[in-house]
Chains A and B, each alone.
Chain A
């Protein structure tokens, strides 16, 4: 594992249109990912994980919102300074994405071979028989059985797991330096899920791929991630190496999330879930967004945003409690 960050996100802000005004779905998000490393991004549904992914790729539709601040440095290039044509040159080729739902993320009217092939053709300029061979190789590399036959299949003829492998073949066509995986296994059953995770790990070992792995499943975090960022209401509230985070969570939200992890050894009744609802983005409380649900909240939490505290090497969290409530 080399240690040069291939992707560096700094102070990313994305504002979405909401009513007459705007809300911050991504608020001052920063992280780095090194080659060969996997950074997990966890948080409840609606916390802004997908918006973070799309912002990095600059794929937020203008009718939905736009990135209003920050830098996304990919292999030394700040993507936010590029024009659309230059940006397109990086999309897929150097930074690619696997989407959550394999049932809807492939085009239903195009053959598998075409959908993989158009990416390979675009990135590597292959044509004719060479392109056809590359498509079959790409499918085979993702361990899709009988790839020669799959080329002419349509998405509806494949299972969810197979489709997600096709999605992976498209994502790896570049091959890219960074892969964003936005909950790629959430829609799959457990066996298929672990096969796909194993596949991604193997691909990473061979290619030195950096992965941003979005999930809300700590079991997956433990399996595949090196470090993990915890997101709440558009902000990263804690970031730490996986073992460190599990052993020593510092932010009250992380603590609560970890307590809510379903433990297969205990009765269903004893499963813990976090009290209350995540806040609506257009109605965020002043100060710490988590305060209404936090057992440790004090007055200062409701008045001012919490400071970022270095909790150890490579470990930081944003919370007043860690700062002694400002005393």
Chain B
């Protein structure tokens, strides 16, 4: 188990290094931040001075080495725009992203799991048919569009929920549903098919033959086995929510999280800020991935030993 953990940690470090490298070079493809910052009337000397200050005058490979050296000491640089440590902005905004992600996962799972289980246990019922139709619909519609429709319906027409910003629990609901939308359909469908497979298994047949009530057969004997493949998918979806989902929802709902920070930094060519935000999201990705393995071990004793 120790060797397993160490090798997974090494893998994680390599992944993070690769992500950092890709972000570093991609960011520099977007153009020159100094041109944006200094404005059109700036003198050539002023621009050269700024470039020196941010270390942008060095050859690219030297910039990269400096970046790696700082990174290895846990320093993600200073924002070109605000002049503050880049990580500070990220840490300030991170609770907002977490809020949406957690609310999104809770809403997603509390819809997708029961519906998936019920649809499988009552195969062919009207709810099963409806659930399957909904799943197809859900996966065909993009998240940003759902977000806009939600704003139109619940904020503009009905006036029930705020159209954007952060502050109360009401602000969280629409972005959370928007990020979770895609996942509900997928997790529901996966739960259903996984349950159907488990319900046809020999151990479920034996559980029924024991005379156990249907409730016990479904939740104690079938559900836990059926969730094993669902976990990976859910975890991947959670990751997607941290990465793409948070970016889409936070932008549509002007929610001040790490996702909208990425877009901001990109727009202003604030390289260190962009690097810090993406690096942070990737770190979450890697840690959640590590977490999945532990959850697996908990659910499936065959993996533990």
Contact = CB atoms under 8 A, between A and B. Distances in A.
Given A154-B302, A157-B305, A105 B202 contact: yes
Contacts of B124: 63
B201 A91 contact: no
Contacts of A106: 203, 206
Contacts of B300: 108-109
Question: Which of B209, B220, B225, B300 has most A Cβ within 10 Å?
Answer: B209
B301 interface: yes
A50 to B, nearest CB: 10
> For the side of the interface on B, what is the size category?
20 to 34
A59 B210 contact: no
B210 A170 contact: yes
Interface in A66-118: 88-93, 96-97, 99-101, 104-110, 118
A101 B202 contact: yes
Contacts of A167: 206
Contact of A91 (B208, B299, B301): B208
B224 interface: yes
A228 B209 CA distance: 24
Interface in A97-151: 97, 99-101, 104-110, 118-119, 122-123
A34 B95 CA distance: 71
Interface string B189-210: 0000000000011110111111
A91 B210 contact: yes
B196 to A, nearest CB: 9
A156 B209 contact: no
30 contacts: A59-B205, A59-B208, A59-B209, A63-B123, A90-B211, A91-B209, A92-B211, A92-B212, A96-B209, A96-B210, A99-B206, A99-B209, A104-B201, A104-B202, A105-B203, A105-B205, A107-B203, A107-B221, A107-B225, A108-B203, A108-B225, A108-B300, A108-B301, A109-B300, A118-B210, A118-B212, A154-B301, A154-B302, A156-B305, A170-B210
A7 interface: no
Interface in A215-274: none
Nearest to A63: B123
A209 interface: no
Q: 7 nearest interchain CB pairs?
A: A91-B211, A92-B211, A92-B210, A104-B202, A105-B202, A154-B301, A107-B203
A200 interface: no
Nearest to A104: B202
Interface string B284-305: 0000000000000001111001
B74 interface: no
Nearest to B210: A92
A177 interface: no
B204 to A, nearest CB: 8
Contact of B209 (A92, A108, A109, A123): A92
A57 B213 CA distance: 15
Interface of B: 123-124, 200-203, 205-213, 216, 220-221, 224-225, 299-302, 305
A100 B213 CA distance: 23
Nearest to B227: A109
B120 to A, nearest CB: 11
Nearest to B206: A105
A170 B301 contact: no
Contacts of B212: 88, 92, 118, 122
Interface of A: 54, 57, 59, 61, 63, 88-93, 96-97, 99-101, 104-110, 118-119, 122-123, 154, 156-157, 167, 170
Q: Which of A91, A99, A108, A170 has the most CB of B within 10 A?
A: A108
Nearest to A94: B211
Contacts of A99: 202, 205-206, 209
B123 A122 contact: no
A54 B221 CA distance: 19
Contacts of A118: 210, 212, 216
A235 B192 CA distance: 37
Contacts of A54: 205
A104 B209 contact: no
A97 B202 CA distance: 12
A122 B200 CA distance: 23
Contacts of B224: 109
Contact of B301 (A89, A93, A109): A109
A89 B211 contact: yes
A97 B209 contact: yes
A97 B155 CA distance: 59
A61 B123 CA distance: 11
Given A88-B212, A107-B225, 5 more contacts: A63-B123, A91-B208, A109-B224, A118-B210, A157-B305
Contacts of A170: 206, 210
A62 B187 CA distance: 26
B117 to A, nearest CB: 16
B210 A104 contact: no
Contacts of B225: 107-109
A186 to B, nearest CB: 13
